[in-house]
Structure 1
Amino acid sequence: MLMTRPSFDTLYEALLNRDPSYDGRVFVCVASTGIFCRLTCPARKPKRENCTFHDTVSECFDAGFRPCKRCRPTTPEATADPVVKPLIEALEKRPSYRWGEPDLVRMGFDPSTVRRAFKRHFGMTFLEMARQRRLQEGFSTLADGGKVIDAQITAGFDSPSAFREAFARILGQSPGVFSAKPLLFADWVASPLGPLIAVTDRTQLHLLEFLDRKAFPTEFRKLQTYAKGEIGFGRTEVTDQIQGELDRFFAGTGGQFQTRLALHGSAFTRDVWRELLTIPPGETRCYSELARALGRPEAVRAVARANGANQLALVVPCHRVIGADGSLTGYGGGLWRKQRLIELEQSYRQTPAA
């Protein structure tokens, strides 16, 4: 079942308020101008009688409308921002560089403008993103068998204690605590929405989570308990498999994941996650629909909690659960990621997943 579009009155009110909840998922076509826009477009708002709403960009084109040049509805919002794109490119060229506000000024940017733009699009500042990127470099050094001091230098930290503290804030423990003879292996995998940590054994994926999710240290500690402290750095064939599947997913050539999953949770929680796995790419459900599908129509809140406890991001698609009114609801990876994922998966609605 596809998302039930909210009423015209709801969408028009969202347009007037520039409500980001529908951004990238519903578009407004304006008869008086012949253009279509995001609901967050900064242009002057059209009259009710001139508006129609469509779910996809292709529907807007089919109806004879052209894209707005101000809000650029055919382009992911973040990459259309003239502040964001050049800084992301600069960060990828120098991932281990210690970026600071003087660097932004030298590049011709106002630090406060950069701060607002990155917070709006990514939920973090550019400098926070750069710090996270440096830690990735250090993590990769450790995963490749390097020493802690090598990882510290690669990550651009002058102080060993500062590196350990930054590392512990993300993973909940310092690098020296990791096992030298692990049962589970941790390494980071890349994605256009930011780095993720994958924890695998030789046959299954146990955890896949965005590096900046607040609940990540707690999730990692629970997995440490399960593995009796035997989590170490390293990459397995399962890590390579999930990286390849993520690459195809974001390239729009594969909406299905075949990696074997280890589901850690109560019986009810696992049932919810298995139900999530039945939602095809490009479709959505609300919590009450999930509860009914499980034969527990009264358990809407319990379903929501289980959905939020998912520790296999993207693969177990908790991002495909929305509010009953069609609006975005909470997502541990950030609403901006949820919006991008739903927007990306629109391409899978009419094209069978690879």
Structure 2
Amino acid sequence: MELTKILMYKAIVEKDTSFEGVFFTAVKTTGIFCRPSCTARKPKIENVEFFETTKECVLKGYRPCKICDPLKKLHETPSEIQEILQELRDNPAFKFKDYDIRQRGIDPNKIRRWFLKNHGITFQAYQRMFKINSAFKRIQDGDRVTNTAYEMGYESLSGFGESFKNIFGVSPIKGKQQSVIDLKRIETPLGTMVACASSQGLCLLEFTDRRMLETELKSISRLLNATIIQGHNPFFEQLEMELDEYFEGRRTEFSVPLHTPGTAFQNKVWTSLRAISYGSTKSYKAQAESIKNPESVRAVANANGMNRIAILIPCHRVIGSDGRLTGYGGGVWRKKYLLELEQKYRNEITPRTS
């Protein structure tokens, strides 16, 4: 027996939380997988398999444990960082320095590492982007450029102008002709997602490991003639609330407004996707027939693939004519999980749409 298996088994017996996210335990006799720290009764070592990811567990046919809930937002933003982000939303003009972070009981190195790992930028860069985004919105709302610059903490108009132009490509005076798309990282039981929203509604929701994500971000920026930048958007709060309810089996439809730029045909296809009821599936051919275009199965499939709003526009409910779970941008394993989630709850809950 390999040494690593002995160490991992020792970790689950001791319910060692330091191994959280490192591996998952799957029990052959029950068909269930758990976190290392699960408090459930421990199986014999010969009945255990170890996997690095929840994806591997699901693909092997294992179900998540109801006691430790291994799919529950494993990489959720730590509470102390959530508090700092809330302070930043409340007062984007404030600049957090290492001293301010230490005063809140946080090691500055920890927050630096977290932002680099999860946002790909430093915390200071995040602050700068958030502040310039907030300034942009104030100008859009009619505030004078001079007032905005100084009230947002800039020491000079020239410095503000340079920062503004670096991000938006124009001077602050011409800012009213520009548009912005807010971006936020969102945690779900199936992994981290990127959400984008305009002033009209949610325009993108994708898993961060989707291969087409960068292409989709460039596309949505071009279609809306807007700059994508880290920022707060009121639609994000509604989205996170509704996603939580969906994954907990308490919501069958979403009501957060959507902004779906695309061709008339694409929007017709995306509307037909939203008409597929919770817990149900439809083949590409049946979907094509539903929009009275039965000869365009390939075109319908292509339009489904261009859907930029996962889960809410439920392309995961479309399957092959033979019942197979065909291509899904977030991965077939996620498609399988979403369908099983909906089938599990569809007869247990009263549809919630608002």
- Percent identical across equivalent pairs? 32
1:207 aligns with 2:204: yes
Provide the residue aligned with 2:56 in structure 1.
120
Equivalent position to 2:316, from 312, 319, 322? 319
1:167 aligns with 2:120: yes
Provide the residue aligned with 1:70 in structure 2.
29
Amino acid at match of 2:36: P
- Give the direction of change, closer, same or farther, for the CA distance of 1:119–1:257 in structure 2 (3 Å limit): closer
Q: CA deviation at 1:87?
A: 7.5
Amino acid at match of 1:81: F
Equivalent position to 2:187, from 173, 187, 190? 190
- Give the direction of change, closer, same or farther, for the CA distance of 1:223–1:242 in structure 2 (3 Å limit): same
Amino acid at match of 1:342: L
Amino acid at match of 1:319: H
Provide the residue aligned with 2:274 in structure 1.
277
Q: CA deviation at 1:198?
A: 1.4
CA contact 1:121–1:336 (8 Å) conserved in 2: no
CA contact 1:141–1:154 (8 Å) conserved in 2: no
CA contact 2:279–2:343 (8 Å) conserved in 1: yes
CA contact 1:281–1:348 (8 Å) conserved in 2: no
CA contact 1:203–1:238 (8 Å) conserved in 2: no
2:339 and 2:55 map into 1 onto residues whose CA distance is: 20
1:295-306 equivalences under 5 Å are 295-306=292-303
Does 1 or 2 have the higher relative contact order (CA < 8 Å, sep 6+)?
A: 1
Equivalent position to 2:337, from 336, 340, 353? 340
Secondary structure in 2 aligned to 1:248? helix
Q: CA deviation at 1:275?
A: 0.1
Provide the residue aligned with 1:86 in structure 2.
36
Provide the residue aligned with 1:103 in structure 2.
none
Provide the residue aligned with 1:23 in structure 2.
none
Secondary structure in 1 aligned to 2:232? coil
TM-score normalised per structure 1: 0.57
Which of these two proteins has the greater Rg computed from alpha carbons? 2
Q: How many residues align?
A: 240
2:322 and 2:119 map into 1 onto residues whose CA distance is: 40
1:177 and 1:285 map into 2 onto residues whose CA distance is: 42
Secondary structure in 2 aligned to 1:186? strand
TM-score normalised per structure 2: 0.57
Amino acid at match of 1:86: P
- Give the direction of change, closer, same or farther, for the CA distance of 1:149–1:193 in structure 2 (3 Å limit): farther
Stretches of structure 1 lacking an aligned partner (at least 5 in a row): 1-41, 43-67, 73-79, 90-111, 124-128, 169-173
Secondary structure in 1 aligned to 2:188? coil
Stretches of structure 2 lacking an aligned partner (at least 5 in a row): 1-25, 40-48, 60-72, 102-107, 138-179
1:277 and 1:249 map into 2 onto residues whose CA distance is: 15
2:76 and 2:251 map into 1 onto residues whose CA distance is: 28
- Give the direction of change, closer, same or farther, for the CA distance of 1:203–1:324 in structure 2 (3 Å limit): same
2:214 and 2:190 map into 1 onto residues whose CA distance is: 19
Secondary structure in 2 aligned to 1:306? helix
Secondary structure in 1 aligned to 2:289? helix
Equivalent position to 1:249, from 246, 253, 259? 246
Provide the residue aligned with 1:55 in structure 2.
none
CA contact 1:202–1:237 (8 Å) conserved in 2: no
- Give the direction of change, closer, same or farther, for the CA distance of 1:256–1:166 in structure 2 (3 Å limit): closer
